[in-house]
Amino acid sequence: MMKRMFNGGCLSELFLHYFLPSFNLFLIAGITLTTAKLRLSEGLSLCWCYVIPFQLVLNWVQFYRHRSLVSTSTDSFPGLNYKQKEYPYREEITVFINLQPQRYKECIHCSLYVPLRSHHCPYCDKCIYILDHHCFFLGFCVGRENMKHFILFCIYAALGTGYGLYHIMEVMTYYRSFSGQESLFYFFPFTLVMYMLDRATGFETFYVFLLDFGLGAFCICVFLASMGLFSTFSGCTPYEDRKKMQVSDTDKLMQNFRDVFGNYGLLYFLCPVLPFKGPHILPGYRVE
């Protein structure tokens, strides 16, 4: 994995595939537990402190379970066996599978004929069906099958961080003014130095850490959720847009939404685990 890009760099692989998802998990847990502690000390309900983490965990699990990988068929490819080495993919091939016309191309990295809208991810070293992007914070690619869980994860993560930051900020203002020279204590590197000089408390340093990184996470989640919804309704991924690829039905907004979320897609906003079949992904075929 990733050898083609980093020439076997273990540190890069550990950082991208393990450290970033672990940091994401630590940040979510820190904000959740701190918010629950603050609300509990004030005698307030912990309802949202249970609901939001529950949604995040389920969507993260479903994100991994439905990874949009192009599987490998044991059947022979019903098309011409021709390889073009100059490019990762050869030109489009239209073949008939079960009497239905399907468009394929060849991936020289996987030695597979794959559905036309598939793309080879250099980080995962796999072909992903309708690849949107590789998400380092969740540790895998966002494709057609797990796009809905990625969007829902970002939405609930934005709601959760915003909810938690409000409570943490409310407590911090009791100890430090947000105006004047004390506003520097809301900047984590400054607070960390003050802590080492014994001029800031441990809990204050931890709260500022959650505030700074939580605010960054909130902005990123809002941006990614917005981009994900835009890709869903437009029917075109950022990669396809950059490559000027022609995809069908890009003007049918609700049909594009159903292609990603299904006919009962709004129910996924309440429960990510539903007994409905996801998008059908055509298999890849070995190059003989």
Task: Specify the amino acid at residue 24.
Answer: N
Q: Give the mean model confidence (pLDDT) for residues 115-144.
A: 90
Contact 257, 265 (CB under 8 A): yes
Pairing of strands 126-129, 133-135: unpaired
**Nearest of 243, 238, 55 to residue 150 by alpha carbon:** 55
**Nearest of 2, 14, 32 to residue 168 by alpha carbon:** 32
Q: Which of 61-65, 88-92, 250-254, 268-272 has the lowest mean pLDDT?
A: 88-92
Contacting residues for 90 by C-beta, under 8 A, at least 6 apart = 82, 83, 84, 105, 106
Task: Specify the amino acid at residue 170.
Answer: E
Q: What average pLDDT is seen over the chain?
A: 85
Q: Give the mean model confidence (pLDDT) for residues 101-123.
A: 88
Whole-angstrom Cα distance, residue 157 to residue 56? Answer: 7
**pLDDT value of position 288:** 66
Is the pLDDT higher at 89 or at 48?
Answer: 48
Instruction: Express the helix, strand and coil content of the chain in percent, nearest 5 each.
Output: 55, 15, 35
**pLDDT value of position 85:** 44
pTM: 0.86
Q: Which of 75-89, 126-140, 180-194 has the lowest mean pLDDT?
A: 75-89
Q: Give the mean model confidence (pLDDT) for residues 184-212.
A: 94
